[in-house]
């Protein structure tokens, strides 16, 4: 019994890829000699859906808008996302994807048919932003497109033709149609989602039924001109381990040729502070809400470990990757806004959630191939808020910009020993950490102090004896619910950080309360 309890404790305490022991001292020990796994840039991906003002007003304003734009796409948004280092963008949904018929979104805009967006607000969708506009957006951003196909209400032929339209340079009806609509060369889109949330809004399917659909749809999503598709199957919602078990068991029985039709599976997990009926406010909250949100956020680490354990049982060679393609905070909409538009503000608490999640995803870099926070603009935990010609960069935006140094870098394994932050009967480790080494040999360490009240002194055992220059940046604010808003000076922004002291191979970092710190170490 004692051994079982110890094992359970270890699982619970796994955080950011390291065992966290309960101690008064905060000590992080890096193991640079064991750095082997590259952190996929796509872990830092984003999600855009035809939902509220994400696409329309957020990204797309049309060529005739007084808001500066390039072919209808906002210049200020493109500039901000490029500066943030956006690696990929998922589109068109979300629940919207399984009602979206792509041929309605091509050709002259004034001739495109309309539809009702039954999932999000019942508004009329005029299809003025479609395949060509999205691909133009990705080219302006310099990011990879991630397209979710319609399995719920679409046909195999429809999705097959979409892949051909985007990827084929052969002589064919779809290639001719693309050229007629103004695009001569194929775009060669690699990443394809085979449906979305097929267990729910995407079709209310059983895992067995969905797996059959996945195999059929994937089979007809062809590789053209040497462009090998990466097909992501619909994975589990939160802790639906039976869904993962069923998909992986059925996949393992397929021939190697058939197994290539599912390269990855997804995982969806939203941090909901209270209940789905009353999710709480994004800006008006107490310390009880703060620790509840952070403790629920950390739960994603346990979910990832358990889903990966199932995947590894059937796939010891790791042919199938994990894509956490929807994650983030979900609160009540802002008062006075359309309930179906999911517009919420973004505070320092959201920045903490982003920092913790990204550290955790980094720690699973050997298995997580992609992650996409929901969503990029004006919806849920967004990077950017827009109001006509105005734009606000959120605290979450600045975390992603700070953390972009990890993209494509090599993960440095580490162990953490830290004190707990405790409130209202809940406890979480107060320190959350990730470290990596980039191609130029620079080491980057990102730390989160989850305690909203107390500063934390953290000793970093670097495992490096060479002389180094250290620079730092910090994100924090006076109040835990501070946020950036229109017409006022931003409260939650990065600032220079010098609260550290280097002594040989040790670096002592004095972290302010409720802060996120990024350190860069350059060997002289």
Instruction: Please identify every residue annotated as catalytic.
Output: 197, 326
Residue 379 to residue 344: CA distance in whole angstroms: 7
3-state helix, strand, coil in the chain (%, to 5): 30, 30, 40
CB neighbourhood size of 139 (10 A): 11
Query: Helix (H, G, I), strand (E, B), or coil: what is residue 468?
Result: strand
Query: Helix (H, G, I), strand (E, B), or coil: what is residue 329?
Result: strand
CB neighbourhood size of 47 (10 A): 27
Contact (Cβ atoms closer than 8 angstroms) between residue 83 and residue 397: no
Query: CB under 8 Å to 141, separation ≥6 — which residues?
Result: 78, 81, 82, 86, 89
Contact (Cβ atoms closer than 8 angstroms) between residue 430 and residue 452: no
Q: What is the 3-state secondary structure (H, E, C) of 210-277?
A: HHHHHHHHHHCCCCECCECCEEEEEEEECCCHHHHHHHHHHHHCCCHHHHCCCCEEEEEEEECCCCCC
- Closest residue by Cα to residue 143 from 99, 203, 80, 97: 80
Tell me how far apart the terminal alpha carbons of the chain are, to the nearest angstrom.
52
Query: CB under 8 Å to 411, separation ≥6 — which residues?
Result: 17, 35, 36, 37, 38, 39, 362, 363, 365, 434, 435, 436
Q: How far lies 379's CA from each of 9, 343, 366, 465, in Å?
A: 37, 5, 30, 46
Residue 352 to residue 340: CA distance in whole angstroms: 26
Residue 191 to residue 407: CA distance in whole angstroms: 18
- CA 254, distance to chain mean position in Å, is 30
Residue 120 to residue 128: CA distance in whole angstroms: 17
Strands 390-393 and 384-387: antiparallel
Encoding tokens for residue 488? Answer: 């006022």
Residue 48: is it exposed, middle or buried by C-beta count within 10 angstroms (0-12/13-18/19+)? buried
Residue 285 to residue 271: CA distance in whole angstroms: 15
Encoding tokens for residue 135? Answer: 């691909």
């Amino acid at each position: 019994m004692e051994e079982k309890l110890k094992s359970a404790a270890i699982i619970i305490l796994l955080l950011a890829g390291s065992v966290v022991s309960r101690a008064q001292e905060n000590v992080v020990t890096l193991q640079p000699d064991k750095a082997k796994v590259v952190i996929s840039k796509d872990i830092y991906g984003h999600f855009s859906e035809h939902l509220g003002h994400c696409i329309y007003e957020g990204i797309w304003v049309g060529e005739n808008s007084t808001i500066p734009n390039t072919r209808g796409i906002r210049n200020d948004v493109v500039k901000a996302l490029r500066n943030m280092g956006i690696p990929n963008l998922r589109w068109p949904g979300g629940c919207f994807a399984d009602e979206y018929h792509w041929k309605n979104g091509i050709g002259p805009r004034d001739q495109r048919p309309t539809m009702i967006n039954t999932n999000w607000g019942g508004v009329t969708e005029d299809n003025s932003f479609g395949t060509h506009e999205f691909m133009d957006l990705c080219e302006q951003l310099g990011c990879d497109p991630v397209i979710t196909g319609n399995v719920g209400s679409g046909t195999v032929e429809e999705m097959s033709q979409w892949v051909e339209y985007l990827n084929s340079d052969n002589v064919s009806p779809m290639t001719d149609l693309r050229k007629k609509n103004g695009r001569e060369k194929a775009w060669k889109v690699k990443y394809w989602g085979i449906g979305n949330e097929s267990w729910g809004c995407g079709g209310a399917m059983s895992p067995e039924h969905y797996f059959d659909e996945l195999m059929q749809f994937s089979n007809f999503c062809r590789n053209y001109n040497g462009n090998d598709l990466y097909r992501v199957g619909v994975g589990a919602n939160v802790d639906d381990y039976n869904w993962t078990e069923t998909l992986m068991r059925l996949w393992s029985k397929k021939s190697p040729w058939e197994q290539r039709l599912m390269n990855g599976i997804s995982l969806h997990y939203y941090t909901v502070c209270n209940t789905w009926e009353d999710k709480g406010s994004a800006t008006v909250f107490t310390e009880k809400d703060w620790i509840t949100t952070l403790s629920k956020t950390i739960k994603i680490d346990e979910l990832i470990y358990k889903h990966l354990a199932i995947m590894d049982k059937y796939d010891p060679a790791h042919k199938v990757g994990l894509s956490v393609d929807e994650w983030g905070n979900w609160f009540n909409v802002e008062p006075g806004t359309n309930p179906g538009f999911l517009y919420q503000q973004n505070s320092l608490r959201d920045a903490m959630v982003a920092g913790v999640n990204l550290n955790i995803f980094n720690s699973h870099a050997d298995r997580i191939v992609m992650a996409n926070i929901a969503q990029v603009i004006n919806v849920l935990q967004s990077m950017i808020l827009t109001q006509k010609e105005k734009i606000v960069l959120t605290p979450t935006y600045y975390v992603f910009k700070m953390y972009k140094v990890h993209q494509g870098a090599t993960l440095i394994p580490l162990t953490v020993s830290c004190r707990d932050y405790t409130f209202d009967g809940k406890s979480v480790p107060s320190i959350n950490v990730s470290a990596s080494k980039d191609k130029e040999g620079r080491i980057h360490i990102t730390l989160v102090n989850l305690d909203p009240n107390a500063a934390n002194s953290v000793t970093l055992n670097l495992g490096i004896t060479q002389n180094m220059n250290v620079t730092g940046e910090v994100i924090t604010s006076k109040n835990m619910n501070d946020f950036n808003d229109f017409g006022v000076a931003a409260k939650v922004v990065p600032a220079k950080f010098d609260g550290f002291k280097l002594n040989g191979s040790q670096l002592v970092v004095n972290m302010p309360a409720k802060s996120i710190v990024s350190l860069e170490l350059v060997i002289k």
